[in-house]
Amino acid sequence: MHYTKEVLETSPIKEVKRKRIGSIKIRKATIADIDGIYNVASSVGKGKKESGDGFLMDNYSVNPDKHKNTFKEKAEKLKFFYVAEMRNEVVGF
């Protein structure tokens, strides 16, 4: 899967915007991905938001351990919990 420059520039994840366009691998999330998943969630889930801003509405910086545990449970229990990976880094889930 390849994304155009326009898609990457509109991404809420600042780090992705700075990288060259490349392949994105989609795979089942593992426990090893929890920090990367949390980084993605906390990059867009901050402070007060309107519901139209997206589904990551929590302020993930308030209680990181709680959110990481939630993501860990999902990775362990859900059949369909995937990550998007670019150059061995989680860039979406």
**Span 81-91, pLDDT tens digits:** 999 999 899 99
pLDDT confidence tier of residue 3, bands split at 50, 70 and 90: very low
Instruction: List % helix, strand, coil for the chain (3-state, nearest 5).
Output: 45, 15, 40
Q: What is the pLDDT of residues 5-60, one digit of tens each?
A: 554 455 555 554 555 567 899 999 999 999 999 999 888 766 666 666 666 667 88
Whether the predicted pLDDT of 75 surpasses 90: yes
* CA distance linking residue 53 with residue 27, whole number of Å: 26
Q: pTM higher than 0.85, yes or no?
A: no
